[in-house]
Amino acid sequence: DEDLALLGRDDGDDVADDEEATRPVVAIIGRPNVGKSTLVNRIIGRREAVVEDVPGVTRDRVAYDGDWSGRNFTLVDTGGWEIDATGIHLRVAEQAEVAVDLADAVLFVVDATVGATDDDEAVVKLLRRSGKPVILIANKVDDQRGEADAAALWNLGLGQPWPVSALHGRGTGDALDALLEVLPEKSSVSGAYQRGGPRRVALLGRPNVGKSSLLNKLAGEERVVVDEMAGTTRDPVDELIELGGKTWRFVDTAGIRRRVHQTRGADFYASLRTQTALEKAEVAVVLLDAANPLTEQDVRIISQVIEAGRGLVLAYNKWDLTDEERRYYLEREIERDLVQIPWAPRVNVSARTGRHLEKLVPAIETALDSWETRVPTGRLNAFLGEVVSAHPHPVRGGKQPRILFATQAGTRPPRFVVFASGFIEAGYRRFIERRLREEFGFEGTPIELSVRVRE
Annotated binding site: 30-37, 77-81, 139-142, 205-212, 252-256, 317-320
Q: What is the DSSP letter of 50?
A: E
CB 314 within 8 A of CB 446: no
| Alpha carbon distances (Å) from 231 to 106, 126, 188, 228, 280 | 18, 14, 16, 9, 22
Q: Which one, of 342, 289, 296, lies nearest residue 318 by Cα?
A: 289
Residues near ligand GDP (CB under 6 A), total: 30
Considering only 29, 34, 100, 308, the residue that binds ligand GDP (CB under 6 A) is: 34
Residue 241-270 contact track with ligand GDP, rule CB under 6 A, x = bound: ---------------x--------------
As measured in angstroms, the least distance from the Cβ of 348 to ligand GDP is 10
Q: Encode burial over 126-137: b for 16+ CB neighbours within 10 A, e otherwise.
A: bbeebebbbbbb
Considering only 88, 151, 167, 294, the residue that binds ligand GDP (CB under 6 A) is: 167
Q: Does residue 210 touch ligand GDP according to CB under 6 A?
A: yes
Q: Does residue 166 touch ligand GDP according to CB under 6 A?
A: yes
Peptide bond into 413 cis (omega under 30): yes
- CA separation for the pair 38, 30 (Å, rounded): 12
CB under 6 A: which stretch of 66-74, 114-122, 139-147, 234-242 binds ligand GDP? 139-147
Residue 171 or 345: the one with the smaller Cβ distance to ligand GDP is 171
Q: Does residue 61 touch ligand GDP according to CB under 6 A?
A: no
Q: Which one, of 186, 35, 177, 45, lies nearest residue 113 by Cα?
A: 35
CB under 6 A: which stretch of 62-70, 206-214, 301-309, 411-419 binds ligand GDP? 206-214
Q: Does residue 44 touch ligand GDP according to CB under 6 A?
A: no
Considering only 140, 280, 310, 415, the residue that binds ligand GDP (CB under 6 A) is: 140
As measured in angstroms, the least distance from the Cβ of 127 to ligand GDP is 17
- CA separation for the pair 362, 374 (Å, rounded): 20
CB 215 within 8 A of CB 277: no
CB under 6 A: which stretch of 58-66, 163-171, 367-375, 440-448 binds ligand GDP? 163-171
Residue 23 or 140: the one with the smaller Cβ distance to ligand GDP is 140
- Residue ranges in 70-171 assigned as alpha helix (H): 88-101, 118-130, 147-151
- CA separation for the pair 16, 22 (Å, rounded): 10
Q: Which residues contact ligand GDP by CB under 6 A?
A: 30, 32-38, 139-140, 142, 165-167, 205, 207-213, 256, 317-318, 320-321, 350-352
